[in-house]
Amino acid sequence: MQDSADIVVIGGGCIGVSVAYHLAKRGAGKVLLLERDEFLGQESTGKCAGGIRAQFSTEINTRLSLLSIDAFERWGEEIQEPLQYWQWGYCFLLTNDQLVASFKKSFEMWNRLGMDAEWWEPAEVEKRLPYVNMDGVQGATFYARDGFGDPSDITQGYAKAARRHDAVIENNVEVTGLKLDENGREVVGVKTNQGDVACSKVVLCTGAWTRDVAGLVGVDVPVEPIRRQIIVTDKFEDIKDPFPMTVDLSTTLYFHRESGGILIGMSDQTESAGYDDSFNEEFGEQMLMTAMERAPVLENASPKHKWAGLYEVTPDHHPVMDKLGHIRGGYVCAGFSGHGLMHAPAAGTLMAELILDGRATSIDISALELARFSDPSRLHDEANVI
């Protein structure tokens, strides 16, 4: 392994490879990405549902999505690698007065940002989504540019494109520490299980482990690992393609097409922070029951695969994209709270701007600064989290 680089990116999930690609594309010098696992994207990226959507409740999250969707739509032209990407839309079912009021407010913001979102009355929902049990449904929102993509294609595509721009990606390399100057304030390298690497800049794209890594240099990045679970059924054709990612936000249930079957997910609101990524069979049964209540046709589906992974959750469900506190040459891009895959293109673009130009210009990301967590008035909670 090389013993020096200009910039070291730690973490080989979708965020890390996007950051490495965008830095290398900009001619940032010797870019080195270090991933501790044997393969890229094996943690949160490889275990996610693949959703890509712009229907958020805050403007900054919506802008991150729109910038990313633009990138996904021109993927073949820019990245020149395969991408399975289905723009079948997202449909959010609104089942109480509070959700209707919240989404009406969001709908106005989406229109202001140029989204051609649709508001469906109950009759339209029933027509468009004949598989849905309409009990309690007061309406729905739909955005045709939303959809879902293949996490492996996104990760491998960025990795290959980064290598074409001379970035180096090393697997089976675990970072064990960050090396600082004698004053303890400036990055001079990283320590790994394969030896030290000298560098002047380091970017933490370490997902659910970010708090632990940042803590090595005395910086608190409040990212908590929270388990989420997914079930994929055997081949199932009772719901006809194409159908949108369907979300019942009141229960956090969501489902979409996956490998000929149906992918089903739901958040366990009682889950506490921790690194346990085993599948909870009891909650899995609750997921299936909730899915069959909202879409009775799913009674005919047979579960085939089950797995769990970790969300990297911040207190306000927005990422941190900023300098690493007081550490000169340190940066952090983590805490996407379940939205990392869909925001990976924007994250890479904006972090490259921040690192190379001194500030992000494609989008104003001052709302995502680390310092916001010390000032409750700066927090902006994302309501549309599933």
Got the DSSP string for 15-33?
HHHHHHHHHHHTT-SSEEE
Q: Calculate mean pLDDT across residues 364-378.
A: 95
**Interatomic CA distance for residues 80 and 163, integer angstroms:** 13
Burial of 42 (0-12, 13-18, 19+ CB in 10 A): middle
**Interatomic CA distance for residues 302 and 233, integer angstroms:** 5
Share of the chain above pLDDT 70, in %: 100
Give the residue range(s) of CATH 3.50.50.60 domains in the chain. 7-48+152-223+316-378
What does residue 85 show for φ and ψ, rounded to 5 degrees?
Answer: -145, 115
Identify whether the C-beta of residue 146 lies closer than 8 Å to the C-beta of residue 47. no
**Nearest by Cα to 325 from 224, 225, 221:** 221
7-48+152-223+316-378: CATH topology is FAD/NAD(P)-binding domain (3.50.50)
Mean pLDDT, rounded, of the chain: 97
User: pLDDT per residue over 292-332, tens digit each?
Assistant: 999 999 999 999 999 999 999 999 999 999 999 999 999 99
Q: Calculate mean pLDDT across residues 252-269.
A: 97
**Interatomic CA distance for residues 243 and 87, integer angstroms:** 10
Q: Calculate mean pLDDT across residues 347-357.
A: 98
**Interatomic CA distance for residues 82 and 374, integer angstroms:** 42
Identify whether the C-beta of residue 33 lies closer than 8 Å to the C-beta of residue 167. yes
Cβ count within 10 A of residue 108: 10
User: pLDDT per residue over 323-341, tens digit each?
Assistant: 999 999 999 999 999 999 9
Model confidence at 381, pLDDT cuts 50, 70, 90, reads confident
User: pLDDT per residue over 171-213, tens digit each?
Assistant: 999 999 999 999 999 999 999 999 999 999 999 999 999 999 9
Model confidence at 1, pLDDT cuts 50, 70, 90, reads confident
What pLDDT is recorded for position 79? Answer: 98
What pLDDT is recorded for position 380? Answer: 84
What pLDDT is recorded for position 372? Answer: 97
Cβ count within 10 A of residue 172: 13
Residue 11 pLDDT > 90 = yes
What does residue 341 show for φ and ψ, rounded to 5 degrees?
Answer: -60, -45
Q: Where are the alpha helices (DSSP H) in 165-231?
A: 210-215
Q: Which residues contact 366 (CB under 8 A, 6 or more apart)?
A: none
Residue 22 pLDDT > 90 = yes
Q: Calculate mean pLDDT across residues 11-27.
A: 98
Q: In degrees to the nearest 10, what's the CA dihedral of 92, 128, 229, 312?
A: -30
The order of strands in the sheet holding 303-313 is 118-120, 139-143, 90-94, 245-248, 253-258, 261-266, 224-233, 303-313
Model confidence at 126, pLDDT cuts 50, 70, 90, reads very high
| CATH among 1.10.150.120, 3.40.640.10, 3.60.10.10, 3.30.9.10 for 87-146+225-312 | 3.30.9.10
Residues 119-129 as b/e (b if ≥16 CB within 10 A, e otherwise) read: ebeeeebeebb
Question: For tokens 């290959």, what's the residue?
Answer: 160
User: pLDDT per residue over 140-180, tens digit each?
Assistant: 999 999 999 999 999 999 999 999 999 999 999 999 999 99
Give the residue range(s) of CATH 3.30.9.10 domains in the chain. 87-146+225-312
What pLDDT is recorded for position 106? Answer: 98
Residues 311-328 as b/e (b if ≥16 CB within 10 A, e otherwise) read: bbbbebbbbbbbbbbebe
1 or 80, which is more confident: 80
Identify whether 242 is preceded by a cis peptide bond (ω within 30 of 0).
yes
What pLDDT is recorded for position 228? Answer: 97
Cβ count within 10 A of residue 28: 18
